[in-house]
Amino acid sequence: MDAPQSTEHRLKAVVLDWAGTTVDFGCFSPVDAFRRLFESFGVPITVEEARNGMGKFKRDHIRHILSLPSVSQRWQAQTAQLPNDSDVDALFTAFIPHQQEAIKAYTTLIPGVLEAVTAYRDIGLKIGSCTGYTREMMDVLIEDAAAQGYFPNAIVCPDEVRAGRPAPWMLYRNAELLDVYPQSAMVKIGDTVVDIEEGLNAGMWTIGLTRTGNEVGLSETEITVLSEADLHYRLGAAAVRLMSAGAHYIADSLADTPKILEEINERLQAGDKP
């Protein structure tokens, strides 16, 4: 009889991002909220500027957008001074209702999520999650996702830990809540560069998602009307950015990840670590 395999050499949990990974195909809710926010302060921003820094704690994301030379220059032209910490505070306070309203329009689960989560649980994995949204912003999203059948075992927000991405604290808190260790037995899955950086900083395996997330930044409808060559180019460019950040694996969507987890399990059993 074969000896039983040690559970120390198998995956125990995955930690999933939210917008662009499990809900909100294309990651549009933060984009809409940021654009309305900056417009209300007299400094309109582009979609590309709003997407720059996606995945960070939203206060940090606001600071990041303000640091972009194009936005900083427009802010100075509007206010007669360069943006400062007081501006970040004012913008973040004003941002919260914008984001809460925007989230309501983007709570639909991405196709394949429920099937992927079922596959994870079938092989004994616990499901954690983390986000750039505060707990206050997440309330509606959590409720709507649960109504559609998605309810992770743990949900951690950046305002509940020392700092958001790329710091590893949300992932450490997930590990604690899920009662899972070592970190090499966990996989972080997300669609942004800072998702990958967060996972690496926590010592986890990482999978970057392209088709459904911020790096491509298109809706399901917009994707379907692309030429094959255009889609191939966009997916490839997104993959390069995520791989350059250090992603161990790349997938189009969460639906494509169960087979990757099988490969990671094989690597763990062979003695590999992230």
Select which of 12, 17, 87, 188 is catalytic.
17
Sign of torsion over alpha carbons 122, 128, 130, 133: positive
CA distances from 57 to 64, 103, 126, 156, 199 (A): 10, 15, 24, 12, 15
Catalytic residue among 12, 56, 58, 188: 58
Catalytic site residue 17?
yes
- Catalytic: 58? yes
Tell me the catalytic residues: 17, 58
